[in-house]
Each structure stands twice: as C-alpha cells, then as structure tokens.
Structure 1
C-alpha cells in the first residue's frame, strides 16, 4: 500500500473513532499502520514483533485487542487460511470479503463481489441460517508464479 493510502486509512480510523465515541489509541494506529505497510498478510506475532521496534515492550493482549477492533470495524481482514491480517482496500464499506491467495508467493489480492452469489444466498435462506458476514478465499497460483 502506498504511504498516501496508509495515511488515508489512518485518518479514516481516527475519524471513525471520533464519530463513534471510540478511542483512537496509539496501539490501534500503529497496528493498522504495520498491517497496511506489510507487502503480504501479517500474523499477530509478527505485528507484535514489529510493534516492538516502534514502542517499548508491546503487550500481546493490547495488540490482540487492537486487531479485534480493527477487524470488527472493517479496517483489516483476517485471511483465515493463513491466520494473518491484511488492510482493507475497499474502504471497509462492503458486506463480504473475497480474496485471491497465491499458494506460491503468498500474495493476497482483495477482490470485490459486493453480494453473495445468488445460488449460495438461496442455500443460506433455505436453511434458515442468519448470516452475520461472509468471506471467500480462492487459492491458486498468480501469474508471476506461473511464469517463474
């Protein structure tokens, strides 16, 4: 993510916190910046390690709380299969999250399918299931790895 985009995302977090009566804490800001600056999805332990380069002895519970807050409000997404986090590139105003994950290099690209595919939506409705959110990960090989 470009530095200008990281700055916009951080400003969006600050604005969100102000508008919703939440605290704009240094751990939330730093956690978001670490994830947004990462070239690939980053795990919680790596966030803690990176934060240790910026602040003095970050507490894992503080980082986990920041991750939970950022994920709950759509600023970051968890790539479940990698147990890692990536910044939201869609302005965090969408219903579901979809990702293309390269098994070769680990690159993850967020793609946008704003609505659950109709066939899947129908199955959800048939079961009477009350959906909270949906995520899809498609694994394969990116073009760069195919050419290597």
Structure 2
C-alpha cells in the first residue's frame, strides 16, 4: 500500500469509528495509524519499535496488545495467524463477512479479498453443519503477480 493508500485507509477507519461511536484513545489511534500507513502486516514488537520512533518512549508490550485487542474486537484490524502479525482492515466490511488473505511468501504483500460466491458457499457449509460462525478468515500462501513473474 502506498502512502496515499495508507492515509485513505486510516481516514476510512476513523470515519467508521465516528459512525459506530468507537472511541479511540491516543494509543489505539497511533497503532491503527501505524498499521494503516505501513500497508503490510506487523508483529506487536515491530509496533513497539514504531511507537518508540514516533514518540521517543518505548511502550510496554501489554499496552500494544491491549490496543490490538480493542482494534480487533471492533474490526479495524485483522490478525494473520500464519505469521502472528496484524494488518489494518482495508475494506470496512461487516465483522461476520468471510475474508481471504492472499499472502505472498516472497515479498510479504497481503491482499484482503472477499467474494460473493465464497460467502454463499461458506453459509451453505455452516447451515448444513448447523454451525453459527463468529469469524470466517482464510489465509492463502503463494506468490503475488510480481513475484510469480520474476
């Protein structure tokens, strides 16, 4: 994500917060801004370093994890389980909407995608199993267009 894309993602997240009545503390806002502007997944300790660079103070890991938990609960960021990293949400979708992360194993680019057909197929699977999903996240590892062509 380029700088303008990061700024747009951050502005969209702030607009969603206003619309939903979500209050962001300065710490939560800073973490969200870092993730939105970075445009790639970051681990919690990477965020500690970014906050320290921005403020001159090194935050305790627990404060970063609390901010991340809040942002996750409010669907403003996603956690990529395969790499234990966090990514700002680029879509502003409903919390229960299925999401697929296409993760390039070479350059680390992550594309967040949704699909109407996948939504229907997953809904059918859940209904057949009489299962009520809370979250529907898939991670697909491979090579992006640029890396596959190299």
TM-score (norm 2): 0.82
Q: Is the 8 A contact 1:77 1:86 kept in 2?
A: yes
Q: Secondary structure, in 3 states, of the residue corresponding to 2:23?
A: coil
Q: Is 1:97 the counterpart of 2:130 in the alignment?
A: no
Where does residue 145 of structure 1 map in the other structure? 147
Report the CA distance between 1:137 and its aligned residue: 1.4
Deviates more, 1:39-48 or 1:115-124: 115-124
Query: What are the within-5 Å matches in structure 2 for residues 37-52 of structure 1?
Result: 37-52=37-52
Where does residue 77 of structure 1 map in the other structure? 78
Q: Is the 8 A contact 1:18 1:24 kept in 2?
A: no
Query: What are the within-5 Å matches in structure 2 for residues 1-148 of structure 1?
Result: 1-18=1-18, 20=20, 22-55=22-55, 56-93=57-94, 95-114=97-116, 116-148=118-150
TM-score (norm 1): 0.83
- Segments of 5+ residues of structure 1 without an aligned counterpart are none
- Segments of 5+ residues of structure 2 without an aligned counterpart are none
1:67/1:142 CA distance change after superposition, 3 Å: same
Q: How many residues get paired?
A: 148
Q: Is the 8 A contact 1:96 1:115 kept in 2?
A: no
Deviates more, 1:10-19 or 1:56-65: 10-19
Report the CA distance between 1:49 and its aligned residue: 1.4
1:142/1:22 CA distance change after superposition, 3 Å: closer
CA RMSD of aligned residues (A): 2.3
Q: Secondary structure, in 3 states, of the residue corresponding to 2:132?
A: coil
